[in-house]
Structure 1
């Protein structure tokens, strides 16, 4: 099994689609009502600010992915650019995010399907989804890529349909020129910068997933070239979709104060624009979107565990094993599925609270990795490199740390507890830092 490696079969298009699936474009609808009330009807502005914030970190991910095209993402970058111990703590911190993101998707999927078919218990949908996702990911990256293409096509079709119907509604009931209104972007004397920044902080969570493409580094053809492109494309496409959809939603339904339940605000707008047929299509889109996000996040955490196992920071025989025929980390994928079974008794709120702490910590460390690797170690400091290797990563780090410290207290407490558990494990692994954590040589990749 020593010669079994991940198979390089992914090109740019399926890689981008994996990132978009992880991000789940449908989140623009699920967060719209809360964001509209936070920003007092200026959701597009908040999305623009969130996109700018995430672009700085996306640039850093692209730089590091080109330098170290190895499965492991932020874990690998921090390990190689800062120190093995920091790399371990980054990998450990983001591991809880990756482990619980599939579970969140299973819970959302089950709640929607149970609402549509009350006679079928939620646990049936959870078990069915876990089995399907596990089977697809174990059978190989090509099958996962094909299924993912169909899922993204469904989401894109719904978003295009919503936009077309919204434009028709505006042109019919108001004027075609109303499509060029500045109201969603500027309302003098109504919205303060603090409110918009609060909305931007919330909506940054919509972008989580652009980094997931880097976990497939060893399954990409020409990773040094394609990975940086994929990271930027996923971030920009997601941002563009979020801005356009929220802009049209605001024009179609400007009275954000009338929503009885902010969580269902988007459903109200969708029914208002397209009736029950579009509302039914929305449920299908959410169901397929959560399936796609679960599939990609499940595959991503399998690769992260594989990278940590291959390095020896986790038991190598279990975590570094690849199936000889399918070239997938089968034991890791089965372990993630077993952990996901806790969705049978865990609430969505609890699972969601375990996410995001590790993501923003990892984002900060990736920005710092760019500075230490390119600016300090390689001395790339002149011209444009000064911006790419120092100023932009500093801005990205500051923004990510701001988002980290502004997480809700429950998320911070759980995140810190998980971090401390990892730190104790690191102490044991290094015998009190008397030796370095195991790490992989670059050539071994």
Structure 2
């Protein structure tokens, strides 16, 4: 039987995780966060980073216990119950299914600002059509191409921060080091947490490296370390970038909050840099959307193949292209909701599913390591009870800080999942089918 080769080191896995998170997204959502927090975006990223760090610790502990693909679904299914594992998988499906929509909506918002004569819905439709076509035909981008595209994003991000520093230094009234981006007129915790609830969108994918388990040297050690490093490095990138951007543009007044970084780019670098920034952001959004739709379609295919979703629609591959066409097209249809939603609501809606999955992963640590084990030393108390409880509290607080429409949509999705689980299990009398992600 063919097996994947274990060729990936810790550095390779961390680089994959950072690339998956698409660091330039901190610029893409800056205006939304500035509007929600009233101009203290770095404070929101500090709160989000702390919350994500505790959850990343739980993911690391569960990745060490179950070094297989499946992430939250597998951890909850094996440590608590198959039915609750299904709910965790259903929450993850919310992220995967609607993430392309949010990615393309952000890209369309910036293209709409650059080309105001072209209606933004046309950009959304163009993103959906092009990426869906590529994913149907089959995507085989070389590692070198992906590396170049990531390099473009990082260079644009570094250039943006450097120009912000230059802009601030050019104004004698603005100090380079200030607490104003964190406490502008005082700390309003509800506003900061509301911003943090959206800022967590930037962290989505920190756990994606669990899918590389079969290709990594010493996965029980490497994958947990990578998850923590990715969260720390990602948080540092987001905090530092948002600090200097907020310093260059204090407050939260923009012509269009959805594309605020476009306006800031013109202020700090002129028309030429605006073009460079736009290219970097669109490259990031396009490649990220392409990968997100491909990942979502593979998840739907895995669920269809294993009988969790209708097999005829989701569990079959195109004879011509060898891709899950039905699942890809469904992702494209779902993305049409971007025509009716704004960036803040779409990212918040996705975060509801993430926070639900994060909460269940924190809970799975308690069940697997604390309740399921007889060890009760101080280290276990800290790692397997206190830290997961803090992580649960943080993610539930962030969930409650989402806007009301996002919470309503998220609860509706959860209710739909419970109803579907009841139908799938004959009124909860039998266990749901098990999903096998490794073959997807």
For residue 331 of structure 2, what is the aligned residue in structure 1?
339
For residues 298-354 of structure 1, give each alpha carbon's deviation from its aligned partner in whole angstroms, at most 9, with x where no partner exists. Answer: 343345446545655346798677999x9xxx5447513443145357516178265
C-alpha separation in 1, matches of 2:30 and 2:66: 37
Q: What is residue 236 of structure 1 aligned with on the other side?
A: 232
* Alpha carbons of structure 1 residues 294 and 13: separation in structure 2 relative to 1, 3 Å: farther
1:91 counterpart (89, 107, 110): 89
Task: Confirm or deny that 1:82 pairs with 2:77.
Answer: no
Question: How far 1:360 moved relative to its partner?
Answer: 1.0
Task: Name the Cα RMSD after superposition.
Answer: 3.5
Q: Which runs of structure 2 are paired with 1:211-222 in the superposition (5 Å)? A: 211-222=207-218
- CA separation of 1:40/1:93 partners in 2, compared to 1, >3 Å: closer, same or farther? closer
In structure 2, what is the equivalent of residue 181 of structure 1?
178
Q: CA deviation at 1:114?
A: 6.2
Per-residue CA distance 1:372-421 (angstroms, 9 max, x = gap) = 11111133432322211111110111111122233333223332333233
Where structure 2 has 5 or more consecutive residues not aligned to the other structure, the ranges are none
Unaligned runs of 5+ in 1: none
Q: Please give the alpha-carbon distance, in whole angstroms, between the structure 2 residues aligned to 1:306 and 1:381.
A: 42
Q: Which residue does 1:249 correspond to in 2? A: 245
Q: Is the 8 A contact 2:34 2:41 kept in 1?
A: yes
Q: Secondary structure at the match of 2:433?
A: coil
Displacement of 1:160 after TM fit?
0.9
SS in 2 for 1:182: coil
2:368 matched residue in structure 1: 373
Stretch of structure 1 that moved more, 315-324 or 118-127: 315-324
Deviations 1:186-216 (Å, cap 9, x if unpaired)? 45x5343333333323322322221233244
| Alignment of structure 1 residues 304-383 onto 2, 5 Å | 304-305=299-300, 308=303, 312-314=307-309, 331-332=323-324, 335-343=327-335, 346-347=338-339, 349=341, 352=346, 354-383=349-378
The number of equivalent residue pairs is 432
Q: Map Cα deviations across residues 43-91 of structure 1 (whole Å, 9 max, x no partner).
A: 2222111110111111111111222122211111110011001001111
CA contact (8 A) 1:71 1:215 kept: yes
Residue of structure 2 equivalent to 1:210: 206
Q: TM-score, normalised by structure 2?
A: 0.84
Contact 1:5 1:322 in 2 (8 A): no
What pairs up with 1:136-285 in 2 under 5 angstroms? 137=139, 139=140, 143=141, 145-174=143-172, 178-187=175-184, 190-254=186-250, 256=251, 258-285=253-280
2:402 maps to 1:404:
no
The question of whether the paired residues in 2 share the 8 Å contact of 1:8 and 1:218 is answered with: yes
Residue 389 in structure 1 maps to residue 389 in structure 2: no
For residue 350 of structure 2, give the secondary structure of its aligned residue in structure 1: coil
Give the SS at the match of 2:341.
Answer: helix
Instruction: Please state how far the C-alpha of 1:145 moved relative to its aligned partner.
Output: 4.5
Find the aligned partners of 2:136 and 2:425 in 1 and give their Cα distance: 34
Which region of structure 1 is more displaced relative to structure 2, 285-294 or 27-36?
27-36
- C-alpha distance 51-58 of structure 1, shift in aligned 2 (>3 A): same
